[in-house]
């Protein structure tokens, strides 16, 4: 388990984003991941990334495996996951 201090440092340092093909999938992904107990946020996609959808899901890198598992188990379609630094 990650300490609260470490988690806060990771939040400030870098993030991962999930890019989607549609807004409905992004909203569904937010619901699925929050139900799994993962802290996520929907945000506008950073300008340097491309996607068919205007929003992305952000989370801390240490939660990547949990996010992938939650999306996979619930058949949420996404484009890709990218780490931002």
Q: What is the pLDDT of residues 30-85, one digit of tens each?
A: 999 999 999 999 999 877 776 567 899 999 999 999 999 999 999 999 999 999 87
CATH (domain of 20): 3.30.70.980
Residue 54 token pair:
């205007």
pLDDT score, position 12:
52
- The β-bridge partners of 18 are 57, 81
Give the predicted TM-score (pTM) of the model. 0.80
pLDDT tens digits along 1-39:
566 665 655 555 589 999 999 999 999 999 999 999 999
Question: Per the structure, how many domains does the chain have?
Answer: 1
Please tell me the predicted confidence (pLDDT) of residue 25. 95
Write down the pLDDT at residue 14. Answer: 84
Q: In 10 A of CB 20, how many CB atoms?
A: 26
Instruction: Determine the structural domain holding residue 52 and report its residue range.
Output: 4-84
Q: What are phi and psi of 4, to 5 degrees?
A: -60, -40
Q: How far is CA 11 from CA 15, 31, 49, 51, 62, in A?
A: 7, 20, 20, 23, 10
Helix (H) / strand (E) element for 57: namely strand 55-59
């Amino acid at each position: 388990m990650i300490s609260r201090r470490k988690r806060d440092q990771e939040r400030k340092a870098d993030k991962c984003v999930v890019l989607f093909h549609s807004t409905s999938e992004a909203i569904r992904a937010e619901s699925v991941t929050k139900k799994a107990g993962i802290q996520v946020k929907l945000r506008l996609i950073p300008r340097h990334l491309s996607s068919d959808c205007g929003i992305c899901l952000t989370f801390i890198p240490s939660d990547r495996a949990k996010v992938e598992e939650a999306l996979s188990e619930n058949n949420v379609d996404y484009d890709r996951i990218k780490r931002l630094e």
